[in-house]
Structure 1
Amino acid sequence: MGIPQLLQTFEKLKKPETKSFPVTDENGASPHRPAAVIDGSALAYHILSRYLKNLSKENRVPSILGFEYAAYQRSVVSWLREIEYGFKIIGIYIDGHLPLYKTETRISRIQTSIAHLSRLRTLSTSTIDLSKTPNFTPTPPLLIAAFTQAILNHDRWKELVATVPGEADAFCAKAAWEYSSSTKDDLAVVFTSDSDLVVYPARGHTRVAVFNDVVFETGADGKRRVKVSLWAPGHIEKILGGDGDSERIMRLAWCLLYDPMKVAKAVSGSNKGASLKGVVVGKEFAEQYTFPVDIEEDSIVPPRVILDSRAAEVIYSSQIYGKYRHPPSSPKGVEVPIYLPVLVEDLSKSSAWAIGRGFRTTAYKLLFNKDTVIQEMHRKGVAVNKTHIRLANETTEDNQLAEDGISELPNELNEVKLKIVFEILAEYENKNAPLAEVDILALLAATTKLPTGSSTLPTTWMNQWTWPRTHLFAQLMAGAWSLYLLKTVAYLPNLNKKGIIDDNLIQLLSSFPELLDVMDAQRFMAVYTLVPADRKGMSKKAKARARKKVKLEHVASSDGGSVKGFVKKLFTEEDWKGVESVLKIVGDMRRAREEELEDDEEETSGAHSYMGMTIG
């Protein structure tokens, strides 16, 4: 949310108290650790910002575009372990739905990203150089999914994490309030990046700590401690003359946004807060700072954890699960906006989100009524635009892909992740710009997990991230996310699946791997690291011909072997059989098409034109 100058204003009333935990009393009793409630979405971005600050100029492009989610997840685990030296974690809450009044803000943020991307595309025409636009640092689109998965992989925390049907703020504040209410002297601290957590109702033992003020240190006794600056909203409320229910704090926050002239009077003089008595807070503003209602147990309770926030938002936008949203809201009419993750893609090409639309449409059909019109919000050209999907009459070939499957795949290759690869291949074939064999291998490498004990991947350099490769990887991400969404929705309780999704596809979806295992940027780029990329001085047509003529058997790698030999090391023996089968299918398809074209040329070769008519 964010209210300008909020903490600076509160600091005039009561400065935050700096403390180190755990605290051991004079009698040497066991160290005491207060309770910690963590705003998971805010923590995910806080850890990302620390990660980005440590990147060198040379590593910025490969590290951001080829984001190492595994390394990031290790940072998440490390932070949680550090915080546990001083606190006992009682809850980690992740955004699962953003309110409708944030629509303009969300569209503005997407448009800003597109504007940065457009400038980068202009200044960095071949390989991507992020230093050309230093204010633009693309956010990894699956950051929250990686954060959530890191927590779910640890028995100590997996029962503490929840994807909530709203912004995490209100759920964090409620958890701290309930804990403080049930204990006499124990602190409950909400850790967040949002200063307006101070505005929520609070008990005397509720505190708020901002991530940037958290310091992990080693004490004189050699033991690890956590130093924090604690804001006490209950104390601030009393200073303002309130009775502890946050009414005065909320009025002061409202004035900061809409009536700043009253703020100075409210925080100065001996009768602080008196000028706030007549302030009437707007309904929508006050609604943001109410506690969510407890979910009643029934037959369609949503899952406690949904891996990705964007997928959770799709689910909570539906009529079935929408009743759990906080604050309560309903889209106007039958149109439902769906905000797809922002991808780093080539603006000279059509949106990467064309890939996977069939899978997403099937997910929408499972969740929404027939008369619903889905508005997918994503880039079109250089602007944010909408793709309308009408569920009542969506019958285009593109949107039948999920139901129909790909009949060309033999049984041993009937893996749902390969449907993404073939959909991307079809996209390029239909535009008469077929992918080179190296591109196909890169896609297959990215969708396959690295074999255990295999050798280290080659180092990826800045000049290997070209726009075509970046766009190709964005298409892979779009397809994988779409399949993940369909799998998540298909396994929700009590959905009517009959006539919408085929049982065979549900069975295939069960074998779909973890989302982050289907788009490995390091494995994707590893194939390209051994392919000559320097084609300066060549015309566009010559470059295109060179790309098509790349034959892996003839491209020497740095260790004297062939690229094909190296690529075989990226796969298990079983996987490599599948790779060869895919390449054979693609080769057969292209040969068949070429034969058809030759036949067409032969049929028309004897024809002649007479007064505009073709005779022959």
Structure 2
Amino acid sequence: MGIPYLITYLRPYAELKSLAGQDVIVDGPGLCYHIHHRCLGRRTEARNSFEAAPSYGELGLATVEWLDGLRDNGAVVKKIYFDGFLPPAKIRTRLERLQRQTTQLIDYHNTHKTPGRTTPRSCETAPQSIFEGKHPRSALTSLPPPSFLVPAILEVLQSSKYYKDVTEVVPGEADLYCAKYISYHGGVVLTGDSDLLVHSLGTDGAVSFFGDVESSSEEQPGYLRTQIYQSAAIAERLGLPKTHGLLSLAFEMFMDHYGTFPKLVAQAAALKAVMASGSMFEDFCKEYTSGSEEPEVIGPSMRIFQSLDPRISEVVLQFPQLAKLAGQDAAAGNPSQDAPHVFLPFLLDCPNRTSAWEISTSVRQLAYGLLNLIVAKDQERFTVIEQRRQGKTPSTREWQLPRLSEISDACIATSDRFTELEDLHVPKTELWLAAMICQELEWSNSLDRASLSQIAMGQLSEFPDRDLDCSWDIVHFIAQMQGSYYSFRILKQILGVVMSSDEEPRLPNAVRQLSSRLECLPGFCEDPEINDMHSLYKRMKTTGLLQIAQRVVGIEEPPPIAADEGLTKPSRKKRKRERIADTNSLATNKTNSRNIFELLPQE
């Protein structure tokens, strides 16, 4: 993101100032990636990007530490904005990002026979202030960030005493709302995106970048200062027209990639490119136009929109009726007839296997279909398009949504699954893990594949109490668990929107019951992570979750799998012989399968 070299050219015009007394507006997604970068810089013992990955708990604590540092220095955090909707014009950019992430994962997989070791995180982290972090080694940045980096940090802020009331998921792009706020109220936007400099920020609006906020050793301990860019003042010093400000300079840079700074400034002052390009300049401006009115305050009954995860908000706001309720600008570019596009978070799974999102597809189908219960008939959607990795390339998958007549039965079946697990004495703390294992078993059995749940248990049984270089099988198993967990989270949050609508009195009882059941879905800190594998193994073994899940889904317990079965692939002929030998028993198991989502349409 950002305009290349814009910060480089304008840095001499920035002023080094204290943050004391400043009203601060924070670009939420930018803050998340900055915190992740800082946490990687704390790693001293990690050998690679996989081992360096911070936990969601650590990321949340580091974010609060960073924001508390601003407050302790006298800054006032007025707003923390998160994207709740990205316009269709950004689809190409997002697909390019998905391709880069896929390439990163494949390259890492090709150069690492084993992804890394599992190590207690306390041994990996060097204690230091979040404002004094070093740049991470390049070896620690070769993989994409954690899959749920942004929603995990958002969850922490929404439960924080100091930040929950200033944190919002907005029905548009966060940078537009940051710019709009300070154009009315003044203040400093903290961001990682140089695009903010180009927006109309008013006479008192300024921009600073996360990487510039530093602890000064010249002042008292903990004293923070940063480089502040006063856009209007910089434009005046450069002699740019007040009607265009830095926007004219940015457009000159966009049109002339090789011009020197003095040449570009002179052309911008004369509006050379602006006058010559006509409609091209108008298109360029659209990305930096935030509307002329101050953001509206939505009613309390629909405030739930502001608490949704960004990716979930984006699904909801592709239904025009709901977008209007959430206060979305009519010019946001929301398609009114197209199937909703969903960019699923990028899971760090094994690129040689089917996407880890696959096992929980039916849960997401149900979630998306629930929105048809609360919109006008002419706005109902019958398919949804998911963007994710499939094999070694990004993939577009279009899924059928359940018909309205099927939703009650699907909700009942989902609730019954949890009831059945409870009847088999699965502890409440393990209920979600058991449900995830059931999904994995059903999916593997339906495709005549060995269960990764069983493979992972076999491998971990060899090293139950010490660190190990884990396999890609274990990595994929964890990714499946995370994808399953997040699919239930999508279902929970969409149910929250449905239950908050005016249609609530007319909803089927099954919808209400499922919503109540999902209220106890744990937060991201309890989501399975790779460094939790030892405790996860002990929990599964102690409670017999694998055996219980096999019983629930109607699959006979298979013979034990050797610990190294997932590490060395049997020959194709051997696998074929094994499949032929097991044909009868597998066929019997499939006939008796009790897949709770089999009533939903597939592709």
Cα deviation, residue 487, structure 1:
0.4
The equivalent of 2:368 in structure 1 is 364
Change (3 A) 1:395 1:435: farther
- For 1:590, the aligned partner's letter is E
Instruction: For 1:479-494, list aligned pairs within 5 A.
Output: 479-492=484-497, 493-494=500-501
Contact 1:336 1:375 in 2 (8 A): yes
| Aligned-partner Cα distance in 2 for 1:370–1:110 | 28
2:246 to 228, 245, 249: 249
Cα deviation, residue 284, structure 1:
3.5
Instruction: For 1:147-166, list aligned pairs within 5 A.
Output: 147-166=153-172
Contact 1:38 1:92 in 2 (8 A): yes
Q: Deviations over 1:219-273 (max 9, x none)?
A: 54x353211111111112334555645x232122122112457875665569944
| Aligned-partner Cα distance in 1 for 2:502–2:100 | 37
Cα deviation, residue 291, structure 1:
2.4
The equivalent of 2:332 in structure 1 is 328
Structure 2 length as normaliser, TM-score?
0.75
Change (3 A) 1:387 1:525: farther
- For 1:39, the aligned partner's letter is D
1:111 to 99, 102, 105: 99
Equivalences, count? 520
Cα deviation, residue 470, structure 1:
0.4
| Aligned-partner Cα distance in 1 for 2:92–2:587 | 53
1:283 partnered with 2:299: no
Contact 2:252 2:268 in 1 (8 A): no
1:178 partnered with 2:195: no
- For 2:436, the aligned partner's letter is I
Per the alignment, in what secondary structure is the counterpart of residue 111 of structure 1? helix
Cα deviation, residue 86, structure 1:
4.0
1:53 partnered with 2:41: yes
Structure 1 length as normaliser, TM-score?
0.74
Change (3 A) 1:270 1:579: closer
Change (3 A) 1:269 1:386: closer
The equivalent of 1:44 in structure 2 is 32
The equivalent of 2:212 in structure 1 is 213
Contact 2:19 2:224 in 1 (8 A): yes
Contact 1:3 1:196 in 2 (8 A): yes
Q: Deviations over 1:559-609 (max 9, x none)?
A: xxxxxxxx26x99xxxx55748726837984159999947999xxxxxxxx
Per the alignment, in what secondary structure is the counterpart of residue 352 of structure 1? coil
Change (3 A) 1:523 1:10: closer
Change (3 A) 1:254 1:499: farther
2:234 to 214, 233, 236: 236
Change (3 A) 1:320 1:581: farther
Cα deviation, residue 137, structure 1:
2.1
Cα deviation, residue 114, structure 1:
1.4
1:383 to 379, 390, 393: 393
Per the alignment, in what secondary structure is the counterpart of residue 340 of structure 2? strand
The equivalent of 1:452 in structure 2 is none
The equivalent of 1:521 in structure 2 is 530
Per the alignment, in what secondary structure is the counterpart of residue 90 of structure 1? strand
1:433 partnered with 2:440: no
Cα deviation, residue 168, structure 1:
1.1
Q: Deviations over 1:154-185 (max 9, x none)?
A: 211211111112221111112222222xxxxx
Root-mean-square deviation (Å): 3.9
Contact 1:95 1:167 in 2 (8 A): yes
Instruction: For 1:473-552, list aligned pairs within 5 A.
Output: 473-492=478-497, 493-494=500-501, 496=503, 498=507, 502-526=511-535
Change (3 A) 1:320 1:77: same
Contact 2:251 2:274 in 1 (8 A): no
- For 1:139, the aligned partner's letter is P
Contact 2:48 2:116 in 1 (8 A): no
| Aligned-partner Cα distance in 1 for 2:16–2:27 | 20
The equivalent of 1:422 in structure 2 is 438
Per the alignment, in what secondary structure is the counterpart of residue 163 of structure 2? coil
Gaps of 5+ in 2: 119-136, 373-378, 560-580, 589-603
**Which structure shows the bigger proportion of residues in helix conformation?**
2
Change (3 A) 1:429 1:95: same
Per the alignment, in what secondary structure is the counterpart of residue 590 of structure 1? coil
| Aligned-partner Cα distance in 2 for 1:243–1:269 | 11
Contact 1:173 1:197 in 2 (8 A): yes
Per the alignment, in what secondary structure is the counterpart of residue 203 of structure 1? coil
Contact 2:304 2:496 in 1 (8 A): no
Q: Deviations over 1:182-211 (max 9, x none)?
A: xxxxxx111111112111112332211111
Cα deviation, residue 523, structure 1:
2.8
2:173 to 157, 167, 175: 167
1:102 partnered with 2:90: yes
The equivalent of 2:309 in structure 1 is 308
Cα deviation, residue 362, structure 1:
1.6
Change (3 A) 1:83 1:475: same
Mean Cα deviation higher: 379-388 or 427-436? 427-436
Gaps of 5+ in 1: 23-32, 181-187, 444-456, 529-566, 602-616
Cα deviation, residue 336, structure 1:
2.0
| Aligned-partner Cα distance in 2 for 1:506–1:258 | 52
Mean Cα deviation higher: 476-485 or 366-375? 366-375
Identity among equivalent pairs (%): 21
Change (3 A) 1:404 1:87: same
The equivalent of 2:62 in structure 1 is 75
1:590 to 556, 560, 564: 556
Cα deviation, residue 81, structure 1:
1.5
Change (3 A) 1:258 1:458: farther
Contact 1:241 1:274 in 2 (8 A): no
Cα deviation, residue 298, structure 1:
5.0
Q: Deviations over 1:270-300 (max 9, x none)?
A: 9944546625453332222222552364586
